[in-house]
Chain A
């Protein structure tokens, strides 16, 4: 599905915030421009009304909202923590299956998954792979090379040497000006290590990406938007679809923020990202979950 600039702004016209990230402002739509949707941290199985009295309905509301888009995204990516932690391997699989079935309710059938630590860290991704396939992989879409990095199946929140070598090999096939988008769950940079908001060997991945001129990272994990640059590489975290977490370092401890009945679904949402291929720009539009 290709869309032009006019169509896109018509599509996002009801929204509240549009952010443009990239080298400069574009003046015309490129032929291969497209958009995708990022959902994150859905934590299927989480059940505590203090933080979300609609824990079984929030993900479904997001899917319904995406399905209502007049022009459907080229694909939807879910950047990890699809399910909440379950110590029982049998129950873990039940939740993974339920989440997969709900997500398959999306009209768009091109869905890209990656794990979060809640999905994969207790069994090194074994159960996750039974339901969603590989934990790291690449794919190409309309001129953009996407790299999915797994920084959660190792319970020490590491990428690991084997995967780093694989990333290096994959990057070696690309030109230095290739359009590269990375999907991962945890921040690759040291966002706030005091709260475990980092990847232990994330700096090694960033070092591998540095020689490439057009790299953008989309991730989850921290249940809120955050926009940060390491040199020329932009990193954008997404909102959650289950509960909010505080801004990095804003409280003495990382604790879930309670549900605010006067502002239901506050801070919970998803985003759509329009990829402008020529200029390697990513136009981000945030959507909040609404009651009803």
Chain B
């Protein structure tokens, strides 16, 4: 019986870990966190300038309108692929005011290098 409980607990822990890692970084299951929807297509994000508050976590929901893109914001330690037909979620928690650039890190064509945006973190 004790072994069975340990096994159930192990499966639960693994499931939670898989959920966390599958979603790229630290996506939370908290339903109350604000969600910002972002679309990606060759060669732009919409919106590409996003204001958030310092210390308040938000969820970015990213969808692609055409092909595989990426979302990478190295200074906030967040990246994910954006696959067509799927919603990619990342959790953003910025602890410092500032402007954080993000860019597509999956080569997508002639305008790939201009496919960028910024997260503006305010007090």
Contact = CB atoms under 8 A, between A and B. Distances in A.
Contacts, number: 37
B105 A196 contact: yes
Taking chain A's interface residues, is the majority helix, strand, or loop, or is none over half, making it mixed?
A: loop
Interface residues of B, number: 18
A117 interface: yes
Contacts of B112: 85
Nearest to A196: B105
Contacts of A193: 72, 74
A160 to B, nearest CB: 14
Contacts of B116: 253
Given A193-B74, A194-B74, A194-B75, A156 B105 contact: yes
Given A85-B112, A253-B116, A254-B113, A194 B107 contact: no
B107 A155 contact: yes
A121 B106 CA distance: 9
Taking chain B's interface residues, is the majority helix, strand, or loop, or is none over half, making it mixed?
A: mixed
A194 B108 contact: no
Contacts of B81: 156
Nearest to B108: A155
A86 interface: yes
Contacts of B106: 155-156
Contact of A155 (B68, B75, B103): B68
A252 B101 contact: yes
B57 interface: no
B116 to A, nearest CB: 7
Interface in A139-169: 152, 155-157
